[in-house]
Amino acid sequence: MRHTPLLLLCVVATAGCAQLSAQKPDAAKPWAWTTEQRLAARFDPAAIKDRQDAYERRLTPAQRLYMAPEPAELFLPSELIDGLLIFGFDQDQPRRDQSRGLYHDGILALGLSEEEFWSLLSSIADRSRTAAKKSSTDTDVIQCRTLAAILDACRRRFGHQRFDQFLYTTMAPHAVTSNVTNSVTATKEELRQRELGCPD
């Protein structure tokens, strides 16, 4: 698998206002969005057209080959952890060093040195991949379950909100289409299942 807050005037009961508020994601805290909020925003037809128009106005044709058309907050956590693995462990050392440099401050904010972080992530990825291979022989399912397991392990290690904040403030701004290629044409349900770890 490779790939403006709305101000509401509430004139109804307090419970109704709370329900509306819960459905509206906080644009200032993209790491706090739910999967359903992300998918709803990502697949809204009007919003898609607005994003595409803005994207084409902002970038040259050459830039569009590698720059992501989606705002950072619309990537799912599993897509961002995928990108972190791709770029953080790139076989090309200059590219790898360049990518890791982008994540430097965010890693330190997690309380680890860069060396400790990449060693920990490598270990988590190896264990998760081994476990996923025991549950399926399908390559896509293995990849899906591996990413879900890595994400879960990192959230347990650093705290769910803290690690998601790292993903959306450190990783997401540098996300590009090359690490979410398959997700560009994936359906809402396919993305939902990937985020769930491709359960049986």
Residue 83 has pLDDT above 70, yes or no: yes
In a domain, 8, yes or no: no
Task: Look at residue 23 in the predicted model and tell me its pLDDT.
Answer: 59
Confirm whether pTM is higher than 0.85: no
What is the extent of the structural domain holding 185? 32-195
Residue 117 has pLDDT above 50, yes or no: yes
Give the distance from CA 117 to its chain's centroid.
Answer: 18
Task: Look at residue 183 in the predicted model and tell me its pLDDT.
Answer: 55
Cβ-based neighbours of 3, under 8 Å, separated by 6 or more: 79, 82, 177, 178, 179, 180, 181, 182, 183, 184
Q: Which of 11-20, 27-36, 88-97, 109-118 has the lowest mean pLDDT?
A: 11-20
In a domain, 85, yes or no: yes
Cβ-based neighbours of 131, under 8 Å, separated by 6 or more: 145, 149
Residue 118 has pLDDT above 80, yes or no: yes
Helix (H) or strand (E) holding 83: helix 77-88
Task: Look at residue 67 in the predicted model and tell me its pLDDT.
Answer: 53
Task: Look at residue 135 in the predicted model and tell me its pLDDT.
Answer: 94
Q: Which of 63-67, 140-144, 162-166, 168-172 has the lowest mean pLDDT?
A: 63-67
Contact 73, 29 (CB under 8 A): no
In a domain, 176, yes or no: yes
What is the pLDDT confidence band of residue 176, given thresholds at 50, 70 and 90? Answer: low
In a domain, 23, yes or no: no
Task: Look at residue 82 in the predicted model and tell me its pLDDT.
Answer: 94
CB atoms within 10 A of CB 91: 6
Residue 128 has pLDDT above 50, yes or no: yes
In a domain, 6, yes or no: no
In a domain, 5, yes or no: no
Q: Which of 104-113, 117-126, 157-166, 177-186 has the lowest mean pLDDT?
A: 177-186
Task: State the chain's mean pLDDT as an integer.
Answer: 81
In a domain, 181, yes or no: yes
For Cα atoms 102, 41, 52, give the angle at the middle one, nearest 5 degrees: 70
pLDDT digits (tens, 9 = 90+) for 40-69: 988 888 877 776 666 666 666 665 555 555
In a domain, 1, yes or no: no
For residues 27-48, give the mean pLDDT. Answer: 88
Residue 78 has pLDDT above 80, yes or no: yes
Domain count, the chain: 1
Task: Look at residue 19 in the predicted model and tell me its pLDDT.
Answer: 37
